[in-house]
Amino acid sequence: SQQGEEDPQALSIQEGENATMNCSYKTSINNLQWYRQNSGRGLVHLILIRSNEREKHSGRLRVTLDTSKKSSSLLITASRAADTASYFCATPLRGSYIPTFGRGTSLIVHP
């Protein structure tokens, strides 16, 4: 399976701190995406990074991709209570473009 697996499973931090989540995957990919899910809601796309990119920024989000290690990280800087959610990485299914998801990292940001 090409599913990414996120680490840690759960992360609890104080508001203002940075949150780092990691994703590892098994086979070559052409892109990797990060999604966010608030409790009981749908997934929301955050950012996509292509295999020829090493780092990408979007607001307070920073994503890195290391294809040699088959891993990615999502950094949320200066976290806020509203960042409390589950975060998923998504890698394409069997070389196709269809995202498949790991178990996610549950992030709790305490005010």
Q: Is 50 exposed, middle or buried (0-12, 13-18, 19+ CB in 10 A)?
A: exposed
For position 109 contacting other proteins by CB under 8 A, the verdict is no
Q: Is 33 exposed, middle or buried (0-12, 13-18, 19+ CB in 10 A)?
A: buried
Amino acid (1-letter code) at residue 80: R
**Total of residues contacting other proteins (CB under 8 A):** 23
Query: Measured from the CB atom, is 20 or 100 closer to other proteins?
Result: 100
CA dihedral (80, 85, 87, 93) positive or negative: negative
Cβ at position 17, least distance to other proteins in Å: 25
Beta strand 105-110 with 10-14: parallel, antiparallel or unpaired?
parallel
Stretch that binds other proteins, among 11-19, 61-69, 73-81, 92-100 (CB under 8 A): 92-100
For position 42 contacting other proteins by CB under 8 A, the verdict is yes
Distance CA 41, CA 25 (A): 25
For position 21 contacting other proteins by CB under 8 A, the verdict is no
Give the one residue of 11, 89, 99, 105 binding other proteins; rule: CB under 8 A: 99
- Contacting positions for other proteins (CB under 8 A): 3, 31, 33, 37, 40-45, 48, 88, 92-93, 96-104
